[in-house]
């Protein structure tokens, strides 16, 4: 996600590092590089212009010239502006004050709507809601069945027209589903509507008819982020044709550039509310502009990481670990091991490590990450005494040799692990103190 942009911006900031003052030429050069970075990330031109203009203006202002370290100030400004174009505040779902909350999904075929419907249902279930999925996509031959399969996977019932009655009217199905939800006390209704291969009038009309019939609390436009600027064009067409309240970006995992995510809000004026980033039902979450900006700038996304750990596992332990990050030297190798073992259950390390600050420079290694490496790290830590895990500073040469032997690894492996641990801890402590916003020790390089 956003790999191109992250790398580009990291290079840009590298050139600024160590400069005590920024000349007009420095600012111009930086602005130019940021412009290229955004264009390469496939961000829409008007958005690029506005972004670069804002950064430039602020870079010339007091906040930068008066600062001790102008380069860090520039990074902070870029962070702020990224948060702004990504939508500012996290836009959360609005629930109906009485009766079931009705969420209607619209979008092109293949956008990932049906998958998304189930992911959203699961996410709502985790928020203690009792959702009902509604199959109002009666166009695509097996759309109903696909939703039923997905519904089963996440344990959420699906309301669909009787089999053999496949020519039914989607507006009637949608209307009937609300009645069904009231009867069966579902508090959220998720209506999956038909998509087409391209934007067309009939499709828009049908979506508009369903919308008028059920008066949804939220109409969400689902769009494949991998199609880049086409996503933005389609989003605009749907906005004019049907209208919606928020956007859901799918397949962010396959989108190295990020152009759609970065442009869609500014172009349509509608917030990105959710992001889907994988084939698994749990690869889905609220879209947090500030966290996304931190990820782009390779400042990590510890909040999401800790949240996920809390959700799936021992929340007390996760809380303790989070607290320890805030105290100097508080986070130990034992904590690291415990967290690693818990987090590991969440899925691939590649994904999880990607949320740690400063990992951008290891992107290639991450992508080729050998999951067995975790077994090796685990073996090394488990070959340490409790005292060593609590206070890794005592691990001297002879202890390293013993640990290497005990875990069947080389001394260099032990060295590497211990060094990396100290480095990561320092970085995380600084982030925790700085509230995760730049002062920016987490920056790469
Ligand atoms: P629909 O036509 O809009 O209902 O799209 P589907 O839900 O059938 O999804 C189309 C394809 O995209 C399927 O193969 C999904 O598995 C895949 N897909 C959906 N969401 C994601 C995602 O976030 N990441 C990836 N990699 N694939 C996804």
* pLDDT tens profile 405-430: 999 999 999 999 999 888 888 877 77
Check whether 250 is labelled as a binding-site residue: yes
* Cα 437 to middle of ligand 1, angstroms: 34
* Cα 380 to middle of ligand 1, angstroms: 40
CATH of 101-287, one of 3.40.50.300, 1.10.510.10, 3.30.300.30, 3.40.640.10: 3.40.50.300
Which residue ranges make up each domain of the chain? 3-86, 101-287, 300-433
Domain 101-287 matches domain 300-433 at the CATH topology level: no
Q: Which residue has the higher pLDDT, 154 or 439?
A: 154
Percent of the chain beyond pLDDT 90? Answer: 53
Check whether 202 is labelled as a binding-site residue: no
Q: Which residue's alpha carbon is at the smallest distance from atom 26 of ligand 1?
A: 278
Check whether 183 is labelled as a binding-site residue: no
Banded model confidence at residue 399, pLDDT cuts 50, 70, 90: very high
Q: Is the CB of 87 under 6 A from ligand 1?
A: no
Indicate the top mutation candidate among 115, 121, 221, 224 to test ligand 1's pocket, ranked by most ligand atoms within 8 A of CB: 115
Q: Is the CB of 253 under 6 A from ligand 1?
A: yes
Using the predicted structure, report yes or no on whether residue 68 has a pLDDT greater than 80. Answer: no
Q: Is the CB of 360 under 6 A from ligand 1?
A: no
* Cα 348 to middle of ligand 1, angstroms: 20
Q: Is the CB of 120 under 6 A from ligand 1?
A: no
Mean pLDDT of 359-376: 75
The per-residue pLDDT of the chain, averaged, comes to: 86
Q: Which atom of ligand 1 is nearest to the CA of 250?
A: 23
Q: Which atom of ligand 1 is nearest to the CA of 113?
A: 3
Banded model confidence at residue 65, pLDDT cuts 50, 70, 90: low
CA angle at residue 239 from 42 to 224, to 5 degrees?
45
Per-residue pLDDT tens digits for 119-158: 999 999 999 999 999 999 888 778 899 999 999 999 999 9
Q: Is the CB of 142 under 6 A from ligand 1?
A: no
* Cα 11 to middle of ligand 1, angstroms: 34
Using the predicted structure, report yes or no on whether residue 353 has a pLDDT greater than 90. Answer: no
pLDDT of the residue at 442: 39
Check whether 225 is labelled as a binding-site residue: no
Mean pLDDT of 293-312: 74
* Cα 245 to middle of ligand 1, angstroms: 22
* Cα 112 to middle of ligand 1, angstroms: 4
Indicate the top mutation candidate among 279, 280, 284, 348 to test ligand 1's pocket, ranked by most ligand atoms within 8 A of CB: 279
Q: Is the CB of 277 under 6 A from ligand 1?
A: yes
Q: Is the CB of 223 under 6 A from ligand 1?
A: no
pLDDT of the residue at 60: 87
Banded model confidence at residue 438, pLDDT cuts 50, 70, 90: very low
Percent of the chain beyond pLDDT 70? Answer: 89
Domain 300-433: state its class.
mainly alpha
Q: Is the CB of 115 under 6 A from ligand 1?
A: yes
Domain 3-86: state its class.
mainly alpha
Q: Which residue has the higher pLDDT, 444 or 252?
A: 252
Whole-complex ipTM: 0.97
Using the predicted structure, report yes or no on whether residue 439 has a pLDDT greater than 70. Answer: no
**pTM (predicted TM-score):** 0.73
Mean pLDDT of 360-370: 72
Using the predicted structure, report yes or no on whether residue 441 has a pLDDT greater than 50. Answer: no
Per-residue pLDDT tens digits for 203-223: 888 899 999 999 999 999 999
* Cα 440 to middle of ligand 1, angstroms: 36
Q: Is the CB of 150 under 6 A from ligand 1?
A: no
Indicate the angle between helix axes 201-214 and 229-241, nearest 10 degrees.
60
Q: Is the CB of 266 under 6 A from ligand 1?
A: no
pLDDT of the residue at 125: 96
Q: Is the CB of 254 under 6 A from ligand 1?
A: yes
């Amino acid at each position: 996600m956003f790999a191109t942009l992250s790398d580009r911006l990291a290079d840009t900031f590298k050139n600024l590092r160590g400069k005590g003052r920024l000349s007009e030429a420095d600012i111009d050069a930086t602005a130019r590089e940021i412009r290229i970075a955004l264009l390469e990330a496939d961000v829409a031109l008007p958005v690029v212009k506005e972004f670069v203009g804002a950064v430039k203006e602020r870079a010339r202002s007091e906040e930068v010239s008066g600062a001790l370290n102008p380069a860090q100030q520039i990074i902070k400004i870029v962070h702020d502006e990224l948060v702004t174009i990504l939508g500012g505040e996290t836009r959360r779902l609005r629930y109906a004050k009485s009766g079931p909350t009705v969420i209607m999904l619209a979008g092109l075929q293949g956008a990932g709507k049906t998958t998304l419907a189930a992911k959203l249902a699961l996410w709502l279930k985790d928020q203690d809601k009792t959702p009902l999925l509604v199959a109002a996509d009666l166009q695509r031959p097996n759309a109903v069945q696909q939703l039923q399969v997905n519904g089963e996977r996440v344990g959420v019932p699906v309301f669909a027209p009787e089999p053999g009655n496949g020519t039914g009217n989607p507006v009637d199905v949608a209307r009937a589903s609300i009645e069904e939800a009231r009867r069966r006390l579902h508090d959220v209704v998720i209506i999956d509507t038909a998509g087409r291969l391209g934007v067309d009038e009939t499709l828009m009309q049908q979506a508009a008819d369903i919308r008028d019939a059920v008066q949804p609390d939220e109409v969400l436009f689902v769009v494949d982020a991998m199609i880049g600027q086409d996503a933005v064009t389609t989003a605009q067409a749907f906005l004019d044709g049907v209208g919606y309240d928020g956007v859901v970006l799918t397949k962010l995992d396959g989108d190295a550039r990020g152009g759609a995510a970065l442009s869609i809000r500014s172009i349509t004026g509608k917030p990105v509310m959710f992001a889907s980033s994988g084939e698994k039902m749990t690869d889905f979450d609220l879209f947090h502009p500030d966290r996304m900006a931190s990820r782009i700038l390779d400042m990590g996304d510890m909040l999401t990481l800790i949240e996920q750990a809390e959700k799936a596992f021992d929340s007390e332990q996760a809380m303790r670990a989070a607290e320890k990050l805030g105290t100097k030297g508080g986070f130990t190798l034992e904590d690291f091991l415990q967290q690693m073992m818990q987090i590991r259950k969440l899925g691939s390390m590649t994904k999880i490590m990607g949320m740690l600050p400063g990992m951008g420079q290891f992107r290639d290694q991450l992508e080729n990450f050998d999951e067995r490496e975790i077994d090796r790290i685990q073996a090394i830590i488990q070959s340490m005494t409790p005292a060593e895990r609590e206070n890794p500073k005592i691990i001297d040469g002879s202890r390293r040799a013993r640990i290497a032997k005990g875990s069947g690894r080389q001394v260099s492996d032990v060295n590497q692990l211990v060094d990396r641990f100290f480095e990561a801890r320092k970085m995380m402590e600084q982030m925790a103190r700085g509230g995760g916003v730049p002062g920016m020790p987490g920056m790469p390089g």
